[in-house]
Amino acid sequence: MKISKVLSLCTLSATVLFGANNVVDHVKQNGIKAIPNSNYELLKIIDDPKDPITDAKVELGKKLYFDPRMSKSSLISCNTCHNLALGGTDGVSAAIGHGWTANPHHLNSPTVYNAAFFKAQFWDGRSPHLADQAQGPVQAGPEMAAPPKLVEERINSIPEYIEEFKAAYGDNVKIDFAKITSTIAIFEKTLVTPSKFDDFLNGNNNALSKAEKEGLEVFLDKGCAACHNGIALGGTMQPFQVAGKYKFAQVGDFKGDKNGMVKTPTLRNITETAPYFHNGAIWSLKDAIKEMGSTQLGIAITDAESAKIETFLKTLKGRKPAISYPQLPESTAKTPVPDAKL
């Protein structure tokens, strides 16, 4: 009697385990990966041994990220459009930058959280990595509108910044535009947000509820992971309007890269990053999911299925790194003054 009870318990836990493994295996077969839970494994993915992540660089990069003096007007920082308190975005359809100018292609600000995992940066994927990427917005007219020379002058006019660059890179550091922007990129690499979905993939079967696992299965069965895969569940170039025309294609003039490919947005923290799509034309996540069915998969996704997928997508809301708002070093008499004119 006792033995058979033990045996039946064993079978029970075996099925539970087997069931869990099945879902995890299914996820992995679809090319989706967890954010590693060991720092060592994570660094293997995001760190560059030629310019390694150190506390001094991260702290300095954070200051520059929050410093509006990186812009011509001295009013706009990276955090203006990639607000770390708002899921790394600005919450408006088209980004608004220098002189209250909207992005000329009506492009929406993507999140910077987990951008270290993307294979391509920008909606048309024109930038391969974060250090290169960060040079773009500082100079772009409708964003921060600051020529490299102005940024170099501003930073080099502030002795405290010079000291911090020396502490981070050694006394011979040349504080040029490339160094300033690559330091910001090192800070961005730390913006990684593991969620309960990662806890689940990393072995905690109870991290997801039954409904969340069911939503995950619907997500996989519909074929969403064909493009939303990897650690970011996005971040690669994929064809767009594969099966049907995007309902708001007429908003802005963005057509993808030269082959019509578009950078697949990450689905991590997706509940925090509305509005959706390259032109920020869709505000509800439910509608975004249904639009993916018609444009990318050629299927009609019902309200009930969309709700299930949404239940899964909510599990991708991650734990944000604690970021203390930095005190920035003071300008000096030599610091070029703000210029807010167009």
Which stretches of the chain bind ligand HEC, using CB under 6 A? 70, 76, 78, 80-82, 95, 97, 103, 107, 109-110, 112, 115, 118, 121-123, 130, 133-134, 137-138, 143-144, 184, 188, 222-224, 226-228, 238-240, 242, 262-265, 270, 273, 276-278, 288-289, 292-293, 296-297, 301, 309
Distance of closest approach, residue 264 Cβ to ligand HEC, in angstroms: 4
* Residues recognised as catalytic: 143
- CA distance to 75, 96, 101, 179, per residue, from 72 (Å): 8, 14, 14, 19
Distance of closest approach, residue 263 Cβ to ligand HEC, in angstroms: 5
40 vs 100 by CB, closer to ligand HEC:
100
Rounded to 5 degrees, what are φ and ψ at 89? -135, -175
Distance of closest approach, residue 160 Cβ to ligand HEC, in angstroms: 20
Distance of closest approach, residue 13 Cβ to ligand HEC, in angstroms: 33
Q: What is the largest CA-CA distance in the chain?
A: 88
- CA distance to 59, 63, 140, 165, 179, per residue, from 155 (Å): 15, 11, 19, 10, 11
Distance of closest approach, residue 307 Cβ to ligand HEC, in angstroms: 12
37 vs 129 by CB, closer to ligand HEC:
129
161 vs 277 by CB, closer to ligand HEC:
277
9 vs 296 by CB, closer to ligand HEC:
296
Distance of closest approach, residue 133 Cβ to ligand HEC, in angstroms: 5
19 vs 128 by CB, closer to ligand HEC:
128
Dihedral angle at the C-alpha atoms of 292, 297, 302, 303, nearest 10 degrees? -10
CA 121 to chain CA centroid, Å, is 10
24 vs 95 by CB, closer to ligand HEC:
95
